[in-house]
Amino acid sequence: MLTTALTLMVLAVVLAWPVPILLAGADWPPRAPGLALALWQSIALAGGVSMIGSLLVFGLIPFGATPVSALGAVAGYVMAGTLPAGATLAGVMALCLAVILATHLLLNLSATFIRAERERRRHHTLIGLLSDPLPFDSTGTRVIDHAAPVAYCLPGATRSATVLSRGLLKLLDPDQLRGVVAHERAHLRQQHHLVLLAFKSWHSALPWFPIANRAENAVALLVEMLADDRARQEVDDRTLATAIALVGTAHLTEDPGTAFATAGFADAGFGANRPGTLPRPDHPVDGSAEMVGPRVHRLIGAGTVLGPVGRIGVIAATVGLLVLPTVLLVTT
């Protein structure tokens, strides 16, 4: 089992450093954001399983010939209060570290989702008090009285909302506004907040891990591109690109107070938070400027979709990363 532990450790290191750096710097993800998003999720999951699995397998070496049989034997030794021959302090520490790390990640994930759900409920209450229905709209779109251009989606277990500001309604023409609304509703339909929360949890659980921050930013951009692709079915690319550019640069021509609100609280999509009043629990609150350029370039550039060979390669890598750690843990 030592070979399995070492293999899992090497896999964990590769997925924690060179692979995310290469993927974050690659030029193909904007051509296939859905596949790129799936690959990021596969890297994160396989990396976590490999990291925990390597510690677990190393610690289980004295307990049995395979990880599965060794796990079954651990309970008997624990009940008897003894350790098998060959057990070492390093092995026991590896087992404890595997349990602590797995518990830490799971508890952090649960806490992140619980906090986000609490914030969403509070946010829904505030929206109900501070907004009005969009006239002649029956889809639950709400309008807040704010001069800064704001547009975002607010998911919920039983109710969802798309929130716009009066500043946005004044800034955009009807076609541009239709594209923005389609973009935000795509976030709701595709449940992007769940993906963002998972990577936010990973980053908060391992704040000292630079790749977690890189992954969170890359995933945030990919979900915006996926929502853009849905909006492209409603309006042409240039109209959508113009809307993104207008909202992304609106703070440059606003008064200092509004400019601060837009620049300091802009989300990864089209909008800005209302400072101190309407927090955004589901989107990053920085990096908006960095996201505007790639999205606009993707829409107005002469980019091509990822070819069949490339798509097959990405799918194979995604599936392979999910299967390999599991196979190593179960069959060796």
148 and 281 co-located in one domain = yes
Alpha-carbon distance 299 to 303, whole Å? 8
Q: Are residues 73 and 156 in the same domain?
A: no
Asked if residue 276 and residue 311 are part of one domain, the reply reads no
The answer to whether residue 77 is domain-embedded is yes
> Binning pLDDT at 50, 70 and 90, where does residue 314 land?
very high
Q: Are residues 294 and 159 in the same domain?
A: yes
For residue 142, the enclosing domain spans 126-301
> Are residues 18 and 74 part of one domain?
yes
Using alpha carbons only, give the angle 280, 283, 286 rounded to the nearest 5 degrees: 95
Is there a single domain that holds both residue 316 and residue 249?
no
CB atoms within 10 A of CB 21: 13
pLDDT band at 69 (very low <50, low <70, confident <90, very high): confident
Would you state the pLDDT for residue 77?
85
State pTM to two decimals.
0.86
Give the count of domains, the chain: 2
Instruction: Give yes or no: residues 155 and 239 share one domain.
Output: yes
Structure tokens at 208: 């000292």
pLDDT (tens digit, 9 = 90+) per residue, 147-159?
999 999 999 877 8
Question: Do 34 and 160 fall into the same domain?
Answer: no
